[in-house]
Amino acid sequence: MNPHENVTTSLPSGLSEEIGALLAPVDADLAHRYPGDPGTRRPVHTVYVPADALTPTTPRTWGEQALDILDAHAPDAAAFAAVLGLADDLAKPVHERVRAKLDREPVEDLRVDFEDGYGIRPDPEEDAAAAQAARLVAQGSAQGTWAPYTGIRMKGMEPAVRDRGLRTLDIFLTGLLAAGPLPEGLVLTLPKVSHTEQVLALARVLDVFEATHGLPHGRIGFEIQVETAPAILGADGTATVARMIQASQGRATGLHYGTFDYSAALGVSAAHQASDHPVADHAKAVMQVAAAGTGVRVCDGSSNVLPVGGTARVHDAWRLHHRLVRRALARAYYQGWDMHPGHLPTRYAAVFAFYREGFAEAADRLAAYAERRGGGVLDEPATARSLSGHLLRGLDCGALDGDEVTLRTGLTRAELESFAAGRPTPA
């Protein structure tokens, strides 16, 4: 039977070409503005360390301190699971993976803080701290003893601190280059952004720095920290944060929510400033929609309740932090701030449990989709991207192992990445 038999059309020939020409500028604009996720590893957290507290062993020290806190307040898997309410089948694997992570790679993303955590210092003191940060980051990155992602949070573009922030940035970047190539995981953070022109200004500074040193255009990216009301809703009633992404000229890598500055800016009293407050949920929802499809990733804020003191107090802080991290993960905020070594056990416990709990269903659904066989859920290509993304994030952070993922899905990492990018391999 001729497959074209009894098939008729009525649109004139050439109309398709006309429509294609009409939409070509739209196609190009959408491809430019919404290139999709870069497909690179996504750190599960960002650790902020004041510049004056940075040492050659900061990542390792954080891991050792986290293990000491874990041993002191939850010495075994059962005790740790009881504090956090982990299911029995997760208690041992999560505890083992947390300990292994704290020993192997305790910090995934380290930001040397020259802003609120550092404060205003005499210029010579901050100059010296910026130069030292460059030396330590360069040395640790070259030796493989540093966090995979690293950089500084400079002071912002407000008039009172602008010159100081730019000088610190210059000293840090120049020092890094003097020691060798820039680290692959270099990331900068621009705080307290309130206007798109501030983003454009930093993009201009980096343009000049790259040209001065013969670096490829766009080599240096930065995160935009959302800590002010005008960053979410501009005076003209538009979502400023969406404009900021475009103003970065492709340099924006992330939108980081600043829990306490933003809450205070909206008049939330100190006792109620938290990442699960309604004002936080609204801001983060706007950030999430603005970033969707752009390749810019979103990051949650921090908890200021530290796991210090007696065991009862540590357990309370752990439960709060664990709950907030789990809540963020369920809302597709896969990264957040950690401000104390004692937050690392609960960060990784929440992350590992999240990916292990969802592993079997995600793997089975993706395998069924890849093999074009039926199942209990009718999945579409967008869902396949989400399922593969879940597995890849779990692999990258250490929640899942490559062998178990391949065994359950029948897919290689390359095939998972293909699904995540929306380019599935043929069945």
Tell me the per-residue pLDDT of 270-306, one tens digit each, with 9 for 90 and over.
999 999 999 999 999 999 999 999 999 999 999 999 9
Burial of residue 302 (number of CB atoms within 10 Å: 0-12, 13-18, 19+): buried
When the pLDDT of each residue in the chain is averaged and rounded to a whole number, the result is 95
| Domain contains 14 | no
pLDDT for res 427: 46
| Domain contains 2 | no
What is the maximum alpha-carbon separation in the chain? Answer: 85
Quick one: 240 and 376 in the same domain? no
Query: Domain boundary at 325, 357, 389, which?
Result: 357
Query: 3-state SS of the chain: helix, strand, coil percent to 5?
Result: 55, 10, 35
Question: What's the one-letter identity of residue 198?
Answer: Q
What CATH number is attached to the domain comprising 200? Answer: 3.20.20.60
Binned at pLDDT 50, 70 and 90, residue 337 comes out as: very high
pTM reported for the whole predicted model? 0.93
Query: pLDDT by residue (tens digit) across 340-384?
Result: 999 999 999 999 999 999 999 999 999 998 887 655 555 678 889
Binned at pLDDT 50, 70 and 90, residue 170 comes out as: very high
Quick one: 284 and 321 in the same domain? yes
Query: Domain boundary at 340, 357, 374, which?
Result: 357
| Domain contains 269 | yes
| Domain contains 388 | yes
Quick one: 64 and 126 in the same domain? yes
Residue 4 has pLDDT above 90, yes or no: no
Quick one: 334 and 380 in the same domain? no
Query: pLDDT by residue (tens digit) across 63-107?
Result: 999 999 999 999 999 999 999 999 999 999 999 999 999 999 999
Provide the terminal-to-terminal Cα distance of the chain, rounded to the nearest Å: 26
CB environment 39-70: b (16+ within 10 A), e (fewer): eeebbbbbbbbbbbebeeebbbbbbebbbebb
| Domain contains 427 | no
Quick one: 298 and 392 in the same domain? no
CA distance to 39, 46, 384, 400, per residue, from 337 (Å):
21, 5, 29, 22
pLDDT for res 380: 79
Quick one: 378 and 249 in the same domain? no
| Domain contains 97 | yes
Query: pLDDT by residue (tens digit) across 247-278?
Result: 999 999 999 999 999 999 999 999 999 999 99
Q: What is the DSSP annotation of 379-416?
A: --HHHHHHHHHHHHHHHHHTSS-HHHHHHHH---HHHH
Quick one: 122 and 252 in the same domain? yes
Query: Domain boundary at 357, 388, 403, which?
Result: 357
Question: What's the one-letter identity of residue 95?
Answer: H
Quick one: 300 and 209 in the same domain? yes
3-class secondary structure, 206: helix
Quick one: 150 and 80 in the same domain? yes
Quick one: 414 and 328 in the same domain? no
Task: Give the chain's domain count.
Answer: 2
CA 377 to chain centre: 30
Quick one: 152 and 75 in the same domain? yes
Quick one: 273 and 413 in the same domain? no
| Domain contains 227 | yes
CB environment 253-270: b (16+ within 10 A), e (fewer): bbbbbbbbbbbebbebee
- Reading across the β-sheet that carries 222-226, which strands appear in turn? 297-299, 252-257, 222-226, 188-190, 149-153, 109-113, 45-50, 336-338
Question: What's the one-letter identity of residue 85?
Answer: G
CA distance to 60, 83, 356, 377, 402, per residue, from 398 (Å):
17, 22, 10, 28, 9
**How far apart, in whole angstroms, are the C-alpha atoms of residue 321 and residue 316?**
9
| 127: containing domain | 45-357
Query: In this structure, are residues 331 and 299 in contact, taking their beta carbons and an 8 Å threshold?
Result: no
| Domain contains 406 | yes
